Structure 1
C-alpha cells in the first residue's frame, strides 16, 4: 500500500505484474480492487498457499533490502472485517450553536466512512445550501432509492467480492443500520427542533458544523466492514477532495501500522493534507485495548455528559430503585408479579443458565405476564420470547451507560439487585413495575465511559493514545428509518432519532471540532489541527479516571479554544518517516510508502519520543530512576482574530492570524510526587508570527516499588492569555 509510482508506468499494470508472478498469467482475474488515485495497492482472491507465497517472497526481499521481483510491495495482509465502534453534548462541551463561525464552514467537506446515510432526514436537508465547493471531484452513486443534494454532495458504496450482507442491506449508499446516519448527524447535521426518541431527550439536535458538506462512503454492512472496502474508500476520498475523514470503525486487535488498512489509508490521507478522525474502540477498561493507534490519526476516547437516563423500578413494598436504561415503554405504573430467572428454568436447562436468562433457558409458562429478574444484562430477546411483562437485569459491566432493550427494562447494580432479591424471597407475592425513563443529572460528568478502550499504545508506548476524548454516552442523533431502535428481531419501533453510546459517537464530535478549526485555518496541516485540539482541551479529573491519560488522552475537546491555541506543534511527512525509521522500518520500505528518496540514518535513529507531539509519555520496565529528554518545537500563531479580521478573512484568501505578534510564554509545571519535570528554557519570547522556538522537556521518574504505576503530570506555556497544555505521563509496566 505504497505511494503512486512516478513516471508513465501505471499502478494498475504493476499490480497485475505482481499478481501474475504469484498465480501465473490468469492471475488478473483474481484481482478485486486496484487502488490508483490516492495511493497504490490491490486486493485479490488468493488461496492460502498463494497468499503465503506472496508474503514469503515479499518478506525475503524486504529483509534483504531488495525489491526486485516484488517491486512496489509494501505489506501483505489478509482482507478482514472490522467492527463499528455509537443534543445535549455540544452545549455540555460549551460549544453552543451561536459561536463565531466563518463562511468557509460551508466549503468544508467531511468524508463519513460508515454504514451509509438516510438522506430524507431533516438533518440532511439542503435548503439554504449553495452548490458544492468547486474543488469537489466526487460522484453520487445514485440508485432507485438514493439521491444526493447540496448537503450530501457525494455518496459511494463498496462491497468487495465475498463480503456477506444481510437481507435488509441496501445495495446503495442508503443506511440500513442507523450507525452511519447517527455519526453523520453528530458531525454535520442541520439544526432540527423537537427531536427526541419517543419523547426522551426532547430538544434541538444538531451537528458540530451544521453548514459543512457531507460525502458518504459506505464501507460497512450488517456483517462488518472489510479492509478492501476501507482502502477503496480512502483511495476515492483522497481524490474526491474531502477535508476531514471520520471513521468510527476499528479492529478487535491492534496491528502493525502497515498491516492495518485504516492506518495505511490515514497515512496517505495525511500526505494529501487530510486528517483522519478515529474511534478508540469499545473494548475498555482493560489496559492497551485501544485500537487505531497510528501517530498520524486522531484517536478519540469516550466520555459522559451531565445528562443520564434513569429508569425507576417501584416494588410492591413501596421501595423505589433508580436504574439505567433507555426505556420508551410505559406500563402506566401497573404492578406485575416478579419471578427470578433461576426459579424458572425451561425443561432440561440448568438454573445457573436460566438465572442469566440465556437463550432457550426460560420456561414461558412460568414467566408470561411477569417481570423477570436476571443476573446478567443481555438484549432482552429471551425475556421477550417468554412473554415477560418486563425485565430487571443486573449490570456490573457498564454501570455508566443506558441502553435500549426489546421490552420494559431497567438495569441495576449488584447491591440493588441483592436488596431486590431479599424482597423477592421474603414476600409471598412480590410485585414491581418499571417506569418510563426520565432525564437525570450526572453531577460527576465528564468522566471516561467504562467501555472506552484504554492505552497505553500497544505498538509504540511513547506515543500517547488515545489523543483526546469527546462525549459518547447517551447521544441523541438522527437514525435510519429502515431499522428499529435496537435493530434486534422483535423490535417494531422505527424512529427518526435514536439514543446510542460508543466511541463511534465521540469520533464524529472530534471530527466536527477538527472541521471547525479547519474553517478558521484552511492552510493548517492535519497534525497542526490535531495538536491544536490536544493543547486546548478541558482537563479531565484523574480522581474518576485512575487510568489517567491512558483513558482520556490530553482531555476533552474544546473547539472554541482550539481555533486560537497561541502556539502550535506540527509534524509533517518527513517527521513521520524519521519516526518509522526509529521503529525499525528500512529505507527501502519507506521509499515505497512515500515514493520519495528518503533514507533512514545509518547511525542514530530518532526515538519515538522525539516526534514533535504535544504529549510526553515515559514508559519503562525498570522500577529504578529513569530520565528522558524530549525535544520539541512550537510556532507562534498569535492572538485572537478581531471581528474586522474575521470579516476580511472570510472575503479573501488572506489569513490574518493576529494583531499583536509579539508574545512571551512562561512554562508552568505541574509535577506530582514521583515525577520531576524541567522545561529548558522555561521562557519563550516571540517577535513575529510564524516564528519557531525549540525547547527540551526533561522528565525524571523516581524509583518505585510497584508495577503498573501511572504518574500523571503536565506543563503549560502561558502568556497571560493562552494556555498551551501538554500532558506528561510515566508508567512502569511488567
Structure 2
C-alpha cells in the first residue's frame, strides 16, 4: 500500500508502516536550536538506494534544515531491517520532513519503560510514583473468596513485623499460614456446610479473592502474564501495604451472615480500608443490606469501604451498592483489548473478541452449526442446540469440530461435548473479552451470518481459531457495557456510582486451584489470570484510597472519598450515553487525589441527619447508632444538604426546577487561598453558587456555600458541573438532573 503524507503532529504515533493516519497539522514557526526536540523519522522498509542509509538521511536533513544543517543533529540511523533515523528537529522542520514522499511518519522520541499490566500506568500511576515511608503501616482488609498466600504477589521479603495497631489474627492450618505481607486471615461459614470444592481455611480455591487482593495491594512481580498475554509487571496500587483477608465467599456464594461477621472483625482488627467486590443482583434498602450496614459501622471507626457497583448493566437503576457512606465503583476499559481471529476454509478471516490462549497450530477443523447437531436422545431440537445450551448438543456430531453457536455462552456445552473450538455470534456488546475452556471467538451477527453462508455453500466447511492478539483501544477509558448504572433507586438524589476505575481485562494473581476459564475440566492452572468486572474496578479504587490514606492518615472516609471524586478525570457522555449514571464523578486519578485542595467532609452525624430526612424509624436509628440520637429539628436533614461531592436532582417530566443544595468544603491545600467557582450548565438550566468566591486563611478551615438550580430541562438526563479553582487545585463536582424512573414494586 502506498503511504500517504502524514501530518506532522509530534503527538501522533504510527505503530505500523502500513497504516495511513491523518493527524492535525502543526503551524510552522521559527524555533532556536535549543528548542529542538528528538523525533523518530520512520521511512518503512530497508532503503533500496545504493546510497548508504546515513548519507541518505543526512541529505534529507540538509534539504529540510538548509543553513541550520548540522550533522550532529542526526542521532542514529536505522538501517538493518527497516529505514529511519533519530534526529533533533524544530516543529517547522518536522512539518517539512513529514511532507517528503519517502517519509511514512514523524513522531516524538517518547520515553518508554518496561511493560506493566497496564491498568495502573493507564491511570497515570507509574511504578516510580512518589510514595510515603509509612505505606507499610496501611492495612487493606479484603472481604472475598480468600487468598493464595504462596503467590509471588504476596511475598513478604523486606517487610518488617505488622503495624502495632494491628489487632487481628491468622487462622493457621495445615494448608495455610500468613506472613508479614498477609498479616491476617480468617474464614467464615455460619451454617458450617462445606462442599467438595471448598477449602476449609482462608485459602482461595476460586481465584477471585487472590485477584482483587493483588490488584489493591500486591507487590511488584515482573514478567507476569497469561500464557504470554498481557506480559508485564503485575502490581497493586499500594505494593508496600499489608493485607488482611476475610474469606466470606464459597462455592455456593457469599452469605450475609458471613459478610457481617467479617466486617465486624475487620473493623475491630484495625484495617484502614475495606475492599469488598461483592453485591446483590438488585439493590436493597440500606439497612437490609449487609454491606451497607457493615460500611456504616466502619465509618464510625474511620474506615472507608470501597465496593463494586455490580455487573448488571447496561440498564439504568441496576447499581446495587448504593449507600452514601461507601465508595461505589464502576468498571471502565483500559487501552488494551484482546481480539481472536477465525480463518475459514475459503480464506476469509473474521476477528472476534475473547482471551484465547489455545494454539491450534493452523490446523483446519470441520465446521458444524449448533442447530444441525441437536441431542435428540436428550429431547433437544435445533431451536435449543443452535444456542449451544447445556446438554443440547450431540457429542457424536460435534466431537473434533468447531461449532457455530447463535448466542454467547460459557462454552461449557461444546467443551463437554468434545468440540475442537467454538465460534459464537450474537448482537451483544463486544467491549470485554473472556476466557473459555476451549479455542473460542465471539463475533457479531454479520460475521456469523457470513460463516453460516459459507457452511451452506460447501459440504466440507473448515475453520481454525488463532491465539488472541493484544491491540490498542483508543477509545479508553469508557464504561463497559456490563457495569451497573445509576440512578440510586432508594435515594435518587444521591448520585451512584461515585467513580469509575479499570475493570476490563485486568491481569492479577490467581489461585492455581481454579482453572483459567473457571470451568471444571479446563486443565489450565495459572499463577496470573485476566478477568473483568466491577470486582476488578473496586480494588483499583481501594488501592488509590489506601494511597491517599498513607499521605493523610487522619482524614475521614468521606474526605478520602471526596479527594478521589473531585480530582477524577471527566469522562465523555458521547462515549457513555448514561453519563454520570455510568461513571459518576469520572475516571479515577491517583496522583491528583493526594492533593485535592478542598474536600467535602462528613461524619456519622451527617449520615444520621440524612437518614432522619429519609424518614427512617427513630428507634431503629437509635439501635443503628448505639446512642440516644433522635430525629428532631436539629438532627434532621434533607438529602440535598448531605455534604456529598456530587449533586443529583430527580424531577418529574416538565417540572420547573427550583432547588437549593447546601455544602461545606474544608481547606486541605494551601493555608491562604482563594477559590473561584466555575459552573457549566446546559441551556434552560440556571445554576448559581453563593458565595462565588471562597477565601481561606488557614488549613482545616470550613466554608459554606449554596448551589441553586432553576429552570427546565428537555432530556431525561442532563449533565452540568461545579469546579472550585485557586490556580493550583481544580475541585470538580458533577451535577446531574434526571427524570425520576418508576420504581419497581
Deviations 1:641-699 (A, max 9, x none): xxxxxxxxxxxxxxxxxxxx211111111112342221112111112211211111112
Number of aligned residue pairs: 623
Task: Please tell me whether the aligned partners of residues 680 and 697 of structure 1 are also in contact (alpha carbons under 8 angstroms).
Answer: yes
Greater mean deviation of Cα atoms: 413-422 or 525-534: 413-422
CA drift at 1:335: 1.4
CA drift at 1:701: 4.5
Query: Which of 688, 691, 695 is the equivalent residue of 1:681?
Result: 691
The aligned counterpart of 2:9 is: none
Give secondary structure in 2 for the equivalent of 1:418: helix
Greater mean deviation of Cα atoms: 311-320 or 186-195: 311-320
The aligned counterpart of 1:176 is: 205
Separation in 2, partners of 1:391, 1:356: 12
Separation in 2, partners of 1:257, 1:447: 29
The answer on 1:486 being equivalent to 2:517 is: yes
- Larger RCO (CA within 8 A; separation ≥ 6): 1
The aligned counterpart of 1:693 is: 703
The answer on 1:114 being equivalent to 2:144 is: yes
1:325 to 1:697, Cα distance in 2 relative to 1, 3 A: same
Query: Which of 720, 728, 735 is the equivalent residue of 1:728?
Result: 735
1:334-483 alignment runs, 5 A limit:
334-347=363-376, 348-483=379-514
CA drift at 1:167: 0.4
CA root-mean-square deviation: 1.3
CA drift at 1:635: 1.1
Separation in 2, partners of 1:187, 1:495: 20
Deviations 1:294-321 (A, max 9, x none): 1100000100001011111112222221
The answer on 1:627 being equivalent to 2:658 is: yes
Give secondary structure in 2 for the equivalent of 1:103: coil
The aligned counterpart of 1:663 is: 673
Separation in 2, partners of 1:688, 1:395: 60
Query: Which of 716, 721, 724 is the equivalent residue of 1:717?
Result: 724
Task: Please tell me whether the aligned partners of residues 608 and 635 of structure 2 are also in contact (alpha carbons under 8 angstroms).
Answer: no
The aligned counterpart of 2:185 is: 155
The aligned counterpart of 1:315 is: 344
Task: Please tell me whether the aligned partners of residues 623 and 732 of structure 1 are also in contact (alpha carbons under 8 angstroms).
Answer: no
The answer on 1:538 being equivalent to 2:545 is: no
Separation in 2, partners of 1:703, 1:491: 53
Deviations 1:62-93 (A, max 9, x none): xxxxxxxxxxxxxxxxxxxxxxxxx2100111
Separation in 2, partners of 1:231, 1:386: 42
The answer on 1:672 being equivalent to 2:682 is: yes
Query: Which of 326, 331, 336 is the equivalent residue of 1:297?
Result: 326
Give secondary structure in 1 for the equivalent of 2:592: helix
Query: Which of 120, 125, 128 is the equivalent residue of 2:158?
Result: 128
Give secondary structure in 2 for the equivalent of 1:183: helix
Separation in 2, partners of 1:364, 1:234: 48
Deviations 1:29-86 (A, max 9, x none): xxxxxxxxxxxxxxxxxxxxxxxxxxxxxxxxxxxxxxxxxxxxxxxxxxxxxxxxxx
Separation in 2, partners of 1:491, 1:726: 47
1:329 to 1:701, Cα distance in 2 relative to 1, 3 A: farther
Query: Which of 349, 355, 368 is the equivalent residue of 1:326?
Result: 355
The answer on 1:237 being equivalent to 2:266 is: yes
Task: Please tell me whether the aligned partners of residues 612 and 635 of structure 2 are also in contact (alpha carbons under 8 angstroms).
Answer: no
CA drift at 1:451: 0.7
Task: Please tell me whether the aligned partners of residues 484 and 495 of structure 1 are also in contact (alpha carbons under 8 angstroms).
Answer: yes
Separation in 1, partners of 2:427, 2:250: 31
The aligned counterpart of 1:14 is: none
Structure 2 unmatched ranges of 5 or more = 1-116
CA drift at 1:578: 0.4
> Structure 2-normalised TM-score?
0.82
Separation in 2, partners of 1:551, 1:396: 21
Separation in 2, partners of 1:636, 1:603: 25
The aligned counterpart of 1:595 is: 626
Separation in 1, partners of 2:428, 2:638: 38
Task: Please tell me whether the aligned partners of residues 609 and 635 of structure 2 are also in contact (alpha carbons under 8 angstroms).
Answer: no
Greater mean deviation of Cα atoms: 99-108 or 398-407: 398-407
Higher Rg of the two aligned structures: 2
Task: Please tell me whether the aligned partners of residues 165 and 223 of structure 1 are also in contact (alpha carbons under 8 angstroms).
Answer: no
The aligned counterpart of 2:94 is: none
Query: Which of 575, 578, 582 is the equivalent residue of 2:606?
Result: 575
Separation in 2, partners of 1:405, 1:415: 22
Give secondary structure in 2 for the equivalent of 1:439: strand
1:105 to 1:701, Cα distance in 2 relative to 1, 3 A: farther
Separation in 2, partners of 1:603, 1:94: 44
Greater mean deviation of Cα atoms: 308-317 or 241-250: 308-317
CA drift at 1:603: 8.7
Deviations 1:315-355 (A, max 9, x none): 22222211110101000111122111112212232211111
Separation in 2, partners of 1:674, 1:446: 30
Separation in 1, partners of 2:391, 2:184: 46
Separation in 1, partners of 2:635, 2:263: 34
Separation in 1, partners of 2:516, 2:260: 30
Separation in 2, partners of 1:355, 1:569: 54
The aligned counterpart of 1:201 is: 230
Separation in 2, partners of 1:485, 1:397: 23
> Structure 1-normalised TM-score?
0.83
Query: Which of 587, 611, 614 is the equivalent residue of 2:645?
Result: 614
1:551 to 1:169, Cα distance in 2 relative to 1, 3 A: same
Give secondary structure in 1 for the equivalent of 2:258: helix
Separation in 1, partners of 2:351, 2:361: 17
